[in-house]
Amino acid sequence: MLTRTASPVLVPTKSKAHVKLFTVQGSNFPSFLPKEVENIKDPFARRLATRIERLPVGFADRSIMSSCVKPLIQSERSPVVLLHGFDSSCLEWRYTFPLLEEAGLETWAVDILGWGFSDLERLPSCDVASKRDHLYRLWKSYIRRPIILIGPSLGAAIAIDFAVNHPEAVEKLVLIDASVYTEDTGNLAKLPRAVAYAGVYLLRSTPLRLYGNLLAFNGLPLNTNIDWMNVGRLHCLYPWWKDATVNFMNSGGYNVSALIKKVKQKTLIIWGEDDQIISNKLAVRLHCELPDAVIRQIPDCGHLPHVEKPNSATKLILDFVGEDSNNEAQSVFSGLNPVTISSKFLQVGIQLETLIF
């Protein structure tokens, strides 16, 4: 059976104790972000966007300026590295990232090669092997210690692929509503390039993004839907996004079902009770197939608990990372004012993977 957690939903607020961390200073965004970032109203997305950096990562015959959010603190504990899902970015972690950081964890949010805000004007291959190699080179260049690797949705497949191929880099895994039983990109890999580009153009379109939100979650206010759409598709506004996405589609995508039993790291599986994207039965299957795993379910929550229920997701992660981290977290949560997030509140960009996988 799945273990339920029933903690209240909290998000960082501008309390006196946290005003420095969460105050957004005007439009102090990195110059490399699309100018449309100014249109985003979500204060947590705006705040995290101001912290996005590009770091040089040696890759193939070049150095790629790779986007991420670096930690504000260094810790003796293993760093936490946050991945994102299909066609998303580090902004997916805008609610949970500051909670983990405030709990004392050295936290990175990294963009997967081909998505996010890296400079891909000279487009590299964006297939599975390239995504894995790029992540490894970033880890080897800047982190260089075993990590707690956290992957939501398709990011769980990316995390499994990385952990099996580079076990020395990963101490523990956290898989959130994992999309790990899809058989790659299927017939999409066989599409003529012209048709593939037409599909990718549609994937970026405003109507489809809005519809994707409404399809996954009923009752989302229109103004919230529009703002989440602006967050979810911000990275799609780069001129190289469509080429990188078609490259990934044509490469075949992820197929990690055969790797699951090879995972050696202790793993936490987190699942939203009301996930309409991936069945809870697959959570149980994943728990059975992983050699060393625990599973926890969050009630009244959909496909992305770290977005919809950041407090609950953070507490589960802290419990899993270690008791010391959890004790530190108590002082963080006790100082926050509770803010209820709609149970229908979910990021558009990730949900669109259901139209592809």
> Is the distance from CB of 134 to CB of 113 less than 8 angstroms?
yes
Q: How many Å apart are CA 299 and CA 317, to the nearest integer? A: 16
Q: Which residue is catalytic, options 275, 306, 312, 343? A: 275
Q: Which residue is catalytic, options 84, 235, 303, 306? A: 303
Q: How many Å apart are CA 344 and CA 65, to the nearest integer? A: 35
177: left (phi over 0), alpha (psi -120 to 50) or beta: left
Q: Residue 211 burial (CB < 10 Å; 0-12/13-18/19+)? A: middle
287 is catalytic: no
Q: Which residue is catalytic, options 67, 153, 251, 343? A: 153
153 is catalytic: yes
> Is the distance from CB of 267 to CB of 292 less than 8 angstroms?
yes
303 is catalytic: yes
The DSSP call for residue 313 is: H
> Is the distance from CB of 111 to CB of 89 less than 8 angstroms?
yes
Q: How many Å apart are CA 279 and CA 271, to the nearest integer? A: 10
Cβ atoms within 10 Å, residue 106: 22
Residues belonging to the active site: 153, 275, 303
